[in-house]
Structure 1
């Protein structure tokens, strides 16, 4: 039974995204269903598509919520840490992905259709996570131009992401690697040392 008058538009949007986020965490991207979200909150699928014109827009909102969680998680790990902040960053990446695997994977499994940009507010929210890395690198590499720091940050995030993906999907285990976090951290430290020397 629908409850079309129970919530304002803002409340309804929050209800949909919160339930979608819960279901994404439970079932993962491949099994995610907007229809199941509608059923769980007691509204019709049409109500969801009235607020999110496409399934892609709903998934973007859910993934942005995950990135907001992730940004807060990393910030908490760094709070009050004086030494080895890069080590904290790398370990926090693996830790979040391990604790929230379905949500983490959904960020990368979802692809927007060609020509559909992220809404500006989502893009800005997502950039905050990268900016944490940029700020930490800038503190270590004050001689680099901002653009070079940002470029290095993107490369190091990709490096850690690749190691984390291999850890979670079992590829490192098949290779006999027992310390994926340490391996990723070694590569990151090498890149930072090279940037300092260069």
Structure 2
């Protein structure tokens, strides 16, 4: 392990962020503290405050790394799935978002549990915008005549809906039977598709985007 004097500020930032991310793979952010992080990297809490500005900004830097990971994941999946149409790509995005939430639950939760007493910095907002642009570009392919405000509203609606499903899934609050069979009114055993976060996301993307595209096309026809 390198000695203190061997770490540049950027190296120390990267080490701190990596250490926090490793912690979040096992425990929630509520179990973390500035003093605990300082102990992980063998530096004083004051050094970390000088480096990041505050504990809140330290966690914000961790969240920036999480957003980068999600963005890189979606970009990679997109490059491997360029044969899919726009709606299929959006479904893929949503499924990967759910998978990330399931595999990195505490890290994912910190994105939304963390609070700042100030506006989000530009460098963080640009990461958020980049993720929404991925969605809006697919929506634009789906309905090329959609206006910017329609794309913005639809992208936020899709994300908020998918995020809500992810939250219920990781909290085990879907409240659906795990059985693949149920008894019909005639007493016969009927097969059914299991209801879970994945199936709900599939239903959401299909029905919402179909309805949204139909609505956009109808408005264009009316205004012609």
TM-score of the two chains, using structure 1 as the length reference:
0.90
Select which of 114, 119, 130 maps to 2:132: 130
Structure 1 contact 34–45 (Cα < 8 Å) conserved: yes
State the Cα distance separating 1:80 from its structure 2 match: 3.0
CA RMSD of aligned residues (A): 1.6
**What is the number of equivalent residue pairs in this alignment?**
193
Find the aligned partners of 1:59 and 1:30 in 2 and give their Cα distance: 12
Separation in 2, partners of 1:15, 1:89 = 29
Deviates more, 1:176-185 or 1:43-52: 176-185
Aligned to 1:162: 164
Is the radius of gyration larger for structure 1 or structure 2?
2
The yes-or-no answer on 1:194 pairing with 2:211 is yes
Structure 2 runs not aligned, ≥5 long:
178-193, 216-224
Q: How far is 1:154 from its partner?
A: 0.5
Corresponding residue of 1:86: 90
| Counterpart among 101, 108, 122 of residue 104 in structure 1 | 108
CA contact (8 A) 1:20 1:34 kept: no
**Where has structure 1 moved over 3 Å in runs of 4 or more?**
none
Cα distance change, pair 190–178 in 1 and its aligned pair in 2 (3 A): closer
Deviations 1:69-111 (A, max 9, x none): 0111112222231222122112111111111111111111112
1:33-182 pair list within 5 angstroms: 33-81=33-81, 82-83=83-84, 84-113=88-117, 116-172=118-174, 174-176=175-177, 178-182=195-199
**Structure 1 residue ranges without an equivalent (≥5):** none
- Which has the larger displacement, 94-103 or 19-28? 19-28
- Most deviating of 61-70 and 72-81: 72-81
Determine the structure 1 residue equivalent to 2:202: 185
